[in-house]
Amino acid sequence: MTSSERPSLRGRKDETTKSAAFFDLDRTLIAGSSAFEFGRASYEAGLLSRRQLARDALANLRFRLRGSTDEATEALRERIYTSIAGRRVVELQRLMPRVLAGILPRLYPRMLDIAYEHQDAGRPVYIVTAASQEMAELLAHVLVFDGGIGARSEIEDGRYTGRPEGPFTYREGKAQAIRALAEREGLDLAASYAYSDSESDLPMLRAVGHPVAVNPDAELLRVARREGWEILRFERLGRRMKTAAAVAAMAAVGGVGREVAARRR
């Protein structure tokens, strides 16, 4: 089912069960990577070099075009933990207004509509992301979601140690997190929804009864089509770049043709 065929979720409340809706963040709720916006805010605050910011910008472009990979995600995780080790928690909290200023314009309006439709139907709505717990909670608060689940960092004496606290909310870690939440809150995952763009989130998508692929990468698109899952598309960067490349190629061919004709004359 495509976005144009999607029925409204309003009025779908099931009085016999308590369900929820879980939303991945990057390329699902927003275009691109929240980690890049965190990096840009860190650079503006003097906490990140220009070279690293350029590397983050390239990684963000690749992510928007192709989706995530385990290698890139693990490398980013290690770099972030290393960069925050020894820093005061309040330092990073002060970055959040700048981070939000970059993230909020990247929100997909239709995804917000869908989230609010779930709430209006009686389902609590959660962000589930490999980004930090602080990011997940703050964004959930700003968007009026019911909660955020992210990666936790160990804190001692008001400073980050550079070590994780608890499981990493990636791949099976996301599924574990929503199962734990479902047990605490008495949620029926079989009646719940999950939205993501990435094959890496298949464990979370398969943990619920209503998985939805949003801007899916190639592998998730293959699985979604095979399983008959709903598919939503909002990311247009790849299509824009393909169009630009085609126009450039046509211009180049036209230029070559003119040059050949000139030589013949």
Q: Predicted confidence band at 243 (pLDDT cuts at 50, 70, 90)?
A: very low
Cα(46)–Cα(244) distance, integer angstroms: 35
Tokens 């998730």 identify what position? Answer: 220
Active-site entry in 26, 56, 197, 217? 26
DSSP 214-237: ES--HHHHHHHHHHT-EEE----H
Q: Is 26 a catalytic residue?
A: yes
pLDDT digits 0-9 by tens, 65-75? 455 566 766 77
* Residue 192, amino acid: S
Most confident of 20-34, 46-60, 61-75: 20-34
Q: Predicted confidence band at 250 (pLDDT cuts at 50, 70, 90)?
A: very low
List the beta strands (DSSP E) in the chain.
21-23, 125-132, 147-151, 153-156, 159-164, 193-196, 210-214, 230-232
Q: Does domain 3-234 have CATH number 3.40.50.1000?
A: yes
pLDDT digits 0-9 by tens, 99-144? 999 999 999 999 999 999 999 999 999 999 999 999 999 999 999 9
Instruction: Identify the pLDDT of residue 220.
Output: 97
Active-site entry in 14, 24, 56, 188? 24
Task: Answer for the pair 41, 138: CB distance below 8 angstroms, yes or no.
Answer: no
Task: Provide the b/e sequence for 182-213 (b: ≥16 CB within 10 Å).
Answer: beeeebebebbbbbbbbbbbbbbbebbebbbb
Instruction: Identify the pLDDT of residue 68.
Output: 55
What pTM value is reported for the model? 0.79
Beta carbons within 8 Å of 38's beta carbon, 6+ residues apart: 80, 95, 99, 131, 135
